[in-house]
Chains A and B, each alone.
Chain A
Amino acid sequence: MNDFMLIRKNLFAKKLRAILMIVSILVAFAIFGVLVAFEKAFNAGEEAAEADRLVVVNKINFTQPLPIAYFNRVRAVEGVRQVTHFNWFGGYYQDPKNFLIVMAVEPRTYLDVYGSDLIVAPEAQEAFFRERTGALVGEAMAEKWGWKVGDRVPIASNIFSQKSGARSWDFTIVGIAKKRKPQVDTNFMVFQYAYFDETRSFGKDMIGWMALQTTSMSLNDQVSKTVDAMFANSLYETSTDTEKAFNKAFVAQLGNIALIVTLVVGAAFVTILMIVGNTMALSIRERTRQIAVLKTLGFSGQRVLRLVLGEAVLLALLGGLPGIGIAALVALLVRESPQQFVPKIAVTPDILFMAIVLMLALGFVTGLIPALNAMRLKIATALGRG
């Protein structure tokens, strides 16, 4: 026997109570793990954003379109190195559940602006510029669906239809884009705007938004103001901001994830803290006589303090670690699901580290008062209770 075994035996002296406490901590950490993983996945785009890239969207909302004519006007603004434009396609593959991130882009400017994020082979670039129905697919999406260069894939839209009435467009995969930086998400497909604009039944000569690169980060403010001033009081006023702010605003459409995470996890933790703290205090109080006996046998106050704190920390770890394990499993299932609505979700090492710190904190906070009481316990008084 050793101190750890004594801690374990004490913890499971009342099995049902211990199991219920472990389950409640498990649930709290499972919620914590999943929510933090969601939050980090949603903010991944923010991390990938380049500081010298600006995004121009309709001032009303980024879902509202802009005229294609704006593209050349923005290109001419002083301090703008390159501009590209996007149109959200609302794509899916075979079944509406298989949602895909698909955008219609202007190929040359797209690869110029996003050259710092993506690696595309020169022959793929050429094919992308040349072939009207060609599509460039990110590595993650290609892997997910088993697509390779030369495959012809029908992609349907839940927004647009062709002039013929068909909701599906056929694309030939002309290249696979690899990420240049780890935080870049390659779960996407882009294809020629010209092909899209010619064939769609409505919205001709309109684009979704533009991304531009300035010649220097120091010009960001000036360029933003110039672009927005240029289109002020027009039918399609613009709002220009950094890519980071745009990505953040995109995520904010789903609500303030960070706030939701903080509130839910906070509420779960305070509740668990109160339950576990109260139960620990009760458990130690029930064992007053046993603690007094340990001290009578020669266990010092500090050793008793360590035993009780150890019990609280062990409890937190026994609940917390499987909880984080469940969160990792949930994240894996979500990541692997065909919908792929949060493709980058994962319980990363930093989330695991954060969780372990929280488990230790939970153990210390809930165990400290019972442990101090046990340490200060007067043997004569405690044994006199019997």
Chain B
Amino acid sequence: MSSPSSMVRLTGVSKRFVKGKETISIFDSLDLTIPQGDFVAVMGPSGSGKTTLLNLLGGIDRPDTGEIHVAAEQIERLGEGDLARFRAAKIGFIFQFYNLMPMLTAAQNVELPLLLTKLDAKQRRKHVETALGVVNLADRAKHYPREMSGGQQQRVAIARAIVSDPQLILADEPTGDLDRATADEILSILQLLNRDLAKTIVMVTHDPAAARYARRVLHLDKGQFIEKELAA
């Protein structure tokens, strides 16, 4: 069991990938605890396992050994259906390339996760308006992704990630495709979600400036974490 105050607890997690005849070990007996309400930036060189870590936390990949507790659920043994339900209820994902559905408007993109809930159309509309309001895009609700800038698309993606009120937000390089000013806007929104709405955030980034928005930074190297203090 994860302790009441921990959102994420990894115990002895190992993960290997087989590439041809070669077996690459990403993690070997990795331990990690992230308390509720934390905002963690995960940094590290390419191939260090940052995205794999997010995949494991989000239940879209499984460890070879070890236990993963997320939001009071032990997820590594859940079946595909239960994992889908777990993701829908407890996790919000933000991707580097936004991954919006091009044929849907901003509001429809944000509404997607709510199709998995029992909310009726009116309630869903209200949730969508709130989420778009949080990211300051209420006036763009009927715009298609192609009609929006990269920063606006990422804000829609954030609205989609928070619309079903998940406990944990996983962000994979959320500013990797944006200029500095836009990146700062996005990171400020993430900070606001953490600070004002108490969302736990795990953000993978290469960018030290982005990492500064987090409460703490974890460096992943050779399958192990090294915690570093944030520069003032």
Residues of A near any B CB (own CB < 8 A): 1-3, 6, 9-10, 12-13, 289-290, 293-302, 379-380, 383, 386
Interface of B, helix, strand, loop or mixed by DSSP: helix
B60 to chain A: which residues have CB within 8 Å? Answer: 295-296, 379-380, 383
Residues of B near any A CB (own CB < 8 A): 55, 58, 60-61, 80-81, 84-89, 91, 93, 95, 97, 99, 101-104, 108, 111-113, 115-116, 124, 160
Contact A297 B112 (CB under 8 A): yes
Given A6-B115, A297-B87, check contact A380 B103 (CB 8 Å). no
CA A2 to CA B115, docked complex, whole Å:
7
Contact A12 B115 (CB under 8 A): no
Given A1-B115, A13-B102, A289-B99, check contact A298 B87 (CB 8 Å). yes
Contact A298 B97 (CB under 8 A): no
Nearest CB in chain B to that of A3: its residue:
B115
Contact A12 B85 (CB under 8 A): no
Smallest distance from the beta carbon of A94 to chain B beta carbons, Å?
A: 59
Contact A380 B61 (CB under 8 A): yes
Smallest distance from the beta carbon of A82 to chain B beta carbons, Å?
A: 72
Given A6-B115, A386-B97, check contact A300 B104 (CB 8 Å). no
* Of A2, A10, A290, A301, the contact of B84 (CB 8 Å cutoff): A301
CA A259 to CA B81, docked complex, whole Å:
48
Give the interface centre of B81, B86, B103, B124 by most chain A CB atoms within 10 Å: B103
Contact A301 B80 (CB under 8 A): yes
CA A10 to CA B101, docked complex, whole Å:
9
Smallest distance from the beta carbon of B27 to chain A beta carbons, Å?
A: 15
Smallest distance from the beta carbon of A9 to chain B beta carbons, Å?
A: 4
Contact B93 A297 (CB under 8 A): yes
Contact B115 A10 (CB under 8 A): no
CA A300 to CA B87, docked complex, whole Å:
10
CA A318 to CA B214, docked complex, whole Å:
51
Smallest distance from the beta carbon of A372 to chain B beta carbons, Å?
A: 14
Could you list some 25 contacts between A and B, CB below 8 A?
A1-B108, A1-B111, A1-B112, A1-B115, A6-B104, A13-B103, A290-B101, A293-B95, A295-B60, A295-B84, A296-B93, A297-B93, A297-B113, A298-B84, A298-B87, A298-B88, A298-B89, A298-B91, A298-B113, A298-B116, A299-B84, A299-B88, A300-B80, A300-B84, A379-B55
A13 to chain B: which residues have CB within 8 Å? Answer: 102-103
Please give me the 7 A-B residue pairs with the lowest Cβ-Cβ distance, nearest first: A298-B88, A300-B84, A379-B60, A13-B103, A298-B87, A9-B103, A293-B99
Contact A9 B104 (CB under 8 A): yes
Other contacts beyond A1-B124, A2-B115: 17, CB < 8 A: A1-B104, A6-B115, A9-B103, A9-B108, A13-B102, A13-B103, A290-B101, A296-B93, A297-B112, A297-B113, A297-B116, A298-B87, A298-B113, A302-B81, A379-B60, A380-B61, A383-B99
